[in-house]
Amino acid sequence: MDSERAALGFTALGQTTRLELMRLLLGRGPTGLAAGEIAAALGATPSTLSFHLRALEQAGLIRPTRIGRSLVYAAQVAALRELLAFVAEACCDGEPARCGDLATLLPTAAKGTAMPAFNVLFLCSRNSARSIMAEAILNKLGEGRFRAFSAGSEPSPEGPMPEVVAQLSALGHDVSGLSSKSWNLFMEPDAPRMDFVITLCDILAGQSCPDFGETMITAAWPLPDPAKFSGNAAERATLLNELYAGLHRRIGIFTSLPIAALDRIALKARLDELAHPAGARA
C-alpha cells in the first residue's frame, strides 16, 4: 500500500459516524448489514448515511452487495488490515517485532492469529439425519472457528435417526448435544445470529426451506433424505456412508475458504459451487 491510498483510508475513518459505522460492520462479519439497518443502528438519515457509506467504499474499506431491493454492506477486513499494517511495518525502524502486539497487524504475523467464530445453521425437513450429520462434522472440522447448529421444518419427535447417531459416534464425533428441533427456534429475537444458513433439503422431492432474510449468506446443497433409503441394513449403511462422505467433503472445503479475504459475492459463489463439490475449487 502506498502513502496516498493509506491517507485516503485514514481520512475516511477520521470522522465519528464513519468510525462507528466501520465498527458496526466489523461486528457483523462477512454477512454485513442492509443500509436500512445501518441507518437505524446509527440514527442517521438516508442522505447522511449515503455520504458516509460512499466515503468508506471509495477507500476500499467496505463493499456493497445488492440482494433483491436492498444494498447489504460488509467490511473489507483484508483492506483494513493492510491499512493498519502500513503504519505497523515502520515500527522500530523496520523491526516491528520490537513493538510488541502492534506486530500482529502485519500479514506475516497474522497467519497465527485466531479467526473469529462463525455461526452456521444447517436445515433439512426432519432434522434427524442430513443436518445432524452436517452439524457434527462442522463442529469437529471447524476447530473452534465455526459453531454449527441444525434444525428442521418438521423436526422428528423421535429425535435423530439411531443409525446416524451410531455412525457419527463410531467416526469420533461428539453426539451428546445432538437433537431434532424446529427452525422456528432460530427465528426468535434471542436466537444466535447466523452468519451462514445452508439448506440440505431435497428440492427436487418437493421439500421447502424457510427464508431467513438477507443479512446472512445462504446456500443450498440438495441431498437425499436417509429416511427414504430402502434395502437391507448393509445397503442402507452404504448409502449413509456416501451421504456422510459427501457432506464431509463439502464442509472440509468450506472450512478451508479464506473467509476474511473474500467479499460477500465471492463467498456466496463458493458456497453455491459446493452443491456439486466434484467441480468445486478447494
Identify the CATH number of the domain in which residue 209 sits.
3.40.50.2300
Tell me the residue range of the domain where 55 lies. 3-110
Residue 214: per-residue pLDDT? 60
Do 233 and 132 sit in the same domain of this protein? yes
Number of domains in the chain: 2
Q: Which residues on adjacent β-strands are paired with residue 150?
A: 122
Whether residue 267 sits in one domain with residue 141: yes
Question: 10 Å Cβ neighbour count for 211?
Answer: 9
* Shared-domain flag, residues 179 and 139: yes
Residue-level pLDDT at 215: 62
For residues 154 and 88, state if they share a domain: no
Are both 169 and 134 inside the same structural domain? yes
State yes or no: pLDDT of 176 exceeds 80. yes
Taking the C-alpha atoms of residue 205 and residue 115, their distance in angstroms, rounded to an integer, is 38
Please give the Cα distance from 147 to 141 (Å, whole number): 10
- For residues 158 and 65, membership in a common domain is answered with no
Work out the percent of the chain whose per-residue pLDDT is above 90.
Answer: 43
Same domain, 140 and 97: no
pLDDT band for position 22 (50/70/90)?
Answer: very high
pLDDT tens digits along 197-224:
999 987 544 555 566 666 678 889 988 8
Q: Which of 80, 110, 140 is the last residue of a domain?
A: 110
Q: Are the CB atoms for 198 and 119 separated by under 8 Å?
A: no
Last residue of a domain, one of 62, 80, 110: 110
112 pLDDT tier (thresholds 50, 70, 90): very low
The residue out of 89, 110, 131 marking a domain boundary is 110
Query: In the numeric block, which cell numbers belong to residue 30?
Result: 462477512
